[in-house]
Structure 1
Amino acid sequence: MWREIVDHFVYKTLGLSGKIADVLDFFIYDTVKIFTLLVVIIFVVTLLRSFFPTEKVREYLSRKHPLFGHVAAAVFGIITPFCSCSAIPLFLGFLQARIPLGVTFSYLISAPMNNEIAIAMLLTLFGWKVTALYIGFGLLVAIVAGIIIGKMDLEDEILIKVQPLDKEVPSCAIELTMRDRLHDAWEYTKDIIKKVWLYVIGGIAVGAFIHGYVPTDFIVKVAGSDAWYAVPLATFLGVPMYSNAAGVMPLIEVLTDKGMPMGTALAFMMAITALSLPEAMILKRILSWKLIIIFFSTVAVGIMAVGYLFNWILG
Structure 2
Amino acid sequence: MAEILHREFVYLWYYFTVQLDQIFPYWVLGMVLGSAISVFAKGTIHALFGKLQTKKLGVLGVILASALGIASPLCMYGTIPLAASFSKFGMKDDLLAAFMMSSILLNPQLIIYSAALGGGALAVRIISCFLCGIAAGLLVRFFYKEKTFFNFSGFSGPTNRDTDPNILVRFFKNLGRNVKATGLYFLFGILLSALFQRYVPTEVMTGLFGGNEAFGVLMAATIGVPLYACGGGTIPLLQQWLMDGMSMGSAAAFMITGPATKITNLGALKIVLGAKRFLLYIAFTMLFAFLTGIIVNLAF
Question: What is the CA-CA distance between 1:272 and the residue it aligns to?
Answer: 0.9
Report the Cα distance in structure 2 between the residues aligned to 1:158 and 1:238, rounded to whole angstroms: 25
Name 2:256's counterpart in structure 1: 270
Name 1:224's counterpart in structure 2: 209
Question: What is the CA-CA distance between 1:286 and the residue it aligns to?
Answer: 2.0
- Structure 2's unaligned 5+ residue stretches are 1-42, 160-180
Structure 1 residues 97 and 241: alpha-carbon distance in aligned structure 2, compared to 1, 3 A threshold: farther
Secondary structure of the 1:239 match is: helix
Question: What is the CA-CA distance between 1:85 and the residue it aligns to?
Answer: 4.7
* Correspondence 1:151 to 2:142: yes
* Correspondence 1:304 to 2:296: no
- Alignment partner for residue 61 of structure 2, among 61, 65, 69? 69
Contact 2:125-2:255 within 8 A present in 1 as well: no
Question: What is the CA-CA distance between 1:301 and the residue it aligns to?
Answer: 1.5
Contact 2:209-2:219 within 8 A present in 1 as well: no
Contact 1:149-1:295 within 8 A present in 2 as well: no
Relative to the length of structure 2, the TM-score reads 0.60
Contact 2:256-2:285 within 8 A present in 1 as well: no
Structure 1 residues 223 and 102: alpha-carbon distance in aligned structure 2, compared to 1, 3 A threshold: farther
Report the Cα distance in structure 2 between the residues aligned to 1:77 and 1:265, rounded to whole angstroms: 22
Question: What is the CA-CA distance between 1:235 and the residue it aligns to?
Answer: 1.0
Which amino acid letter does the alignment assign opposite residue 137 of structure 1? Answer: S
C-alpha distance after superposition, 1:85-116 (max 9, x if no partner): 55333333333333111211111121132322
Question: What is the CA-CA distance between 1:162 and the residue it aligns to?
Answer: 8.3
Q: How does 1:73-92 map to 2 (within 5 A)?
A: 73-92=65-84
Structure 1 residues 156 and 136: alpha-carbon distance in aligned structure 2, compared to 1, 3 A threshold: closer
Report the Cα distance in structure 2 between the residues aligned to 1:225 and 1:303, rounded to whole angstroms: 16
Which amino acid letter does the alignment assign opposite residue 256 of structure 2? Answer: M
Secondary structure of the 2:246 match is: coil
* Correspondence 1:93 to 2:78: no
C-alpha distance after superposition, 1:136-169 (max 9, x if no partner): 2221121012211222228445344389xxxxxx
Which amino acid letter does the alignment assign opposite residue 290 of structure 1? Answer: K
Aligned residues: 220
Secondary structure of the 1:249 match is: helix
Q: How does 1:156-235 map to 2 (within 5 A)?
A: 156-161=148-153, 220=205, 223-226=208-211, 227-235=213-221
Structure 1 residues 91 and 254: alpha-carbon distance in aligned structure 2, compared to 1, 3 A threshold: farther
Relative to the length of structure 1, the TM-score reads 0.58
Name 2:127's counterpart in structure 1: 136
Name 1:237's counterpart in structure 2: 223
- Alignment partner for residue 281 of structure 2, among 295, 300, 303? 295
Structure 1 residues 82 and 230: alpha-carbon distance in aligned structure 2, compared to 1, 3 A threshold: farther
Report the Cα distance in structure 2 between the residues aligned to 1:231 and 1:91, rounded to whole angstroms: 32
Name 1:179's counterpart in structure 2: none
Deviates more, 1:230-239 or 1:83-92: 83-92
